[in-house]
Structure 1
Amino acid sequence: METWRIFATALLGVSGLLTVLIVMARVREKTGRWQAVAVAALVGVTALLLTCVLMLTTLPADVSWWLAGGLTVFVAVLAFAS
C-alpha cells in the first residue's frame, strides 16, 4: 500500500470524526432527542468508514486528496464559524 494513501486516509479520518461530532451537536441542539443523535452518529461513522476503505483501496490519488483536503477545509470553516 502506498504511503500517500495512508496519509490521505488519516487526514480524512481525523477531519471526518470532527465533522461527525459537529453534526451530532447540531442534531442535539435542533431535536433534543438522543435517538436522533445516535442515528446521525451511526450514519456519519458508516459513511466515513466506507469512504476511508475506498480511499485505501480503489480511489485515485487526485480524488483522494480532494476529498481529504475538502473535508479538512470544511471542518476548519465550521470550527471558525461556531
Structure 2
Amino acid sequence: MQAWRVIATVVLAVAGFVLVLLTMAKTRDRREATSGTVALAGAISFTILVVLCVLTLTVLAPLATWIVVGVVAAAVTVMLLAS
C-alpha cells in the first residue's frame, strides 16, 4: 500500500465523517424531518463515504484522489462556515 493513498484516505475519512454529521444536522433542521429521514440521510452519506474511501485506497489515480479529498474538505469548510 502506498503511503499517499493511506494519507489521502485518512484525510478523506475525517473530513467525510464531519460531513456525514453535518448532513444529518441539516436534515434534522428541516421543517418536517423525522428521525427516519435523518437516519436515512446519514446512512446514504456514510455509504458514499465508505465507497470513496475504498476507491481511494485501491484504484483511483493520484490526481482524482486528491481532487476528491479537496472537494470533500471544501464542502466541510463551507458547511461549517454557513452554519
> What TM-score bracket applies, with the shorter chain setting the length?
over 0.9
State the alpha-carbon separation in 2 of the partners of residues 40 and 80 from structure 1: 21
| 1:22-78 per-position Cα deviation (integer Å, ceiling 9, x unaligned) | 110111111331000110111111110011000000000000001001111111111
Structure 1 vs Structure 2 CA RMSD:
0.9
Q: Paired residues, what number?
A: 82
- TM-score, normalised on structure 1? 0.95
Question: TM-score w.r.t. structure 2 length?
Answer: 0.93
Q: Percent identity?
A: 37
Q: Aligned residue for 1:56?
A: 57
1:69 equivalent to 2:48? Answer no
Structure 2: runs of 5 or more not aligned: none
Write out the 4+ residue segments of structure 1 that deviate beyond 2 Å after TM superposition: none
**Structure 2 partner of 1:28:** 28
